[in-house]
């Protein structure tokens, strides 16, 4: 998979750019990613938001306006993404612009994103609308803030649940092959096998 990584913003949030025959798919939109793609003249053909937390949607509205591309996310985070001011009491450091979904992702379905097939896994617990994007042939998963190298997403924010998160990781991620590489929303990439062996939360 041809992949570019970008890390930016106060929470050092990762975004991933996947190149396909039809253009680039962007996973998440942290602060600064719009400048990053503009400088490199990358044509973003679609944006997926793994969930609605501010650090992942910071540049989303401006990026979508610039790229004129469709945007996909889970309906359970619609309120966070269309009314981001609701998170002001929970550490939102800025006024963010709302982003309407072109189409909602549900979880369980296979979708074609910029000509590439992904299975959508809905894993709530960190955020109600947290999704992971699984590309089976290339053994790659874009996980958002669900599973990290040696950690899991925090569950203490509004709508969070430790039980749901751990259960979802076991039932939807840990059933995947060991070799699957996980690209998380923060920190370095890992693999399902490594987390199966070493992650103290699982």
Q: Which of 24, 26, 53, 61 binds Zn ion (CB under 5 A)?
A: 53
Q: Kindly determine how many residues on this chain lie close enough to bind Zn ion according to the rule CB under 5 A.
A: 4
CB of 201 to Zn ion, least distance (A): 16
Nearest to 50 by CA among 116, 149, 129, 135: 129
Binding status of residue 28 toward Zn ion by CB under 5 A: no
Closer CB to Zn ion, 55 or 195, in the complex: 55
The verdict on 59 binding Zn ion (CB under 5 A) reads: no
- The least CB distance from residue 130 to Zn ion, in Å, is 8
- Binding to Zn ion in span 180-199, by CB under 5 A: 185
7 sits in which H/E element: strand 2-8
Euclidean distance between CA atoms 32 and 55, whole angstroms: 11
Dist. CA 66–CA 16, nearest whole Å: 18
145 binds Zn ion (CB under 5 A): yes
Beta-bridge partners for 119? 110, 134
Output the smallest distance, CB 63 to Zn ion, in A: 17
Contact assessment for residue 57 and residue 81, using Cβ atoms and an 8 Å cutoff:
yes
> How far is the C-alpha of 60 from the C-alpha of 126, rounded, in Å?
20
- Nearest-approach distance from CB 111 to Zn ion, in angstroms: 22
Position of minimal CB gap to Zn ion:
53
Q: Which residues bind to Zn ion, rule: CB under 5 A? A: 53, 55, 145, 185
């Amino acid at each position: 998979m041809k992949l570019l990584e970008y890390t930016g913003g106060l929470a050092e949030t990762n975004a991933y750019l996947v190149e396909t025959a039809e253009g680039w798919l962007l996973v998440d939109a942290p602060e600064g990613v719009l400048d990053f793609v503009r400088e490199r003249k990358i044509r973003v053909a679609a944006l997926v938001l793994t969930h609605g937390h501010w650090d992942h949607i910071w540049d989303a509205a401006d990026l979508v306006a610039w790229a004129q591309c469709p945007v996909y996310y889970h309906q359970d985070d619609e309120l966070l993404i269309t009314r981001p001011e609701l998170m002001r009491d929970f550490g939102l450091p800025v006024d963010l612009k709302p982003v309407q979904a072109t189409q909602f992702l549900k979880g369980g379905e296979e979708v074609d994103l910029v000509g590439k097939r992904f299975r959508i896994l809905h894993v709530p617990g960190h955020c109600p609308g947290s999704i992971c994007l699984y590309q089976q042939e290339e053994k790659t998963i874009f996980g958002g803030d669900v599973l990290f190298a040696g950690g899991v997403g925090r569950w203490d924010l509004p709508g969070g649940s430790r039980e749901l998160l751990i259960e979802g990781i076991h039932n939807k991620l840990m059933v995947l092959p060991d070799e699957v590489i996980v690209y998380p929303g923060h920190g370095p990439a890992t693999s399902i096998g490594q987390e199966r062996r070493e992650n103290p939360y699982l």
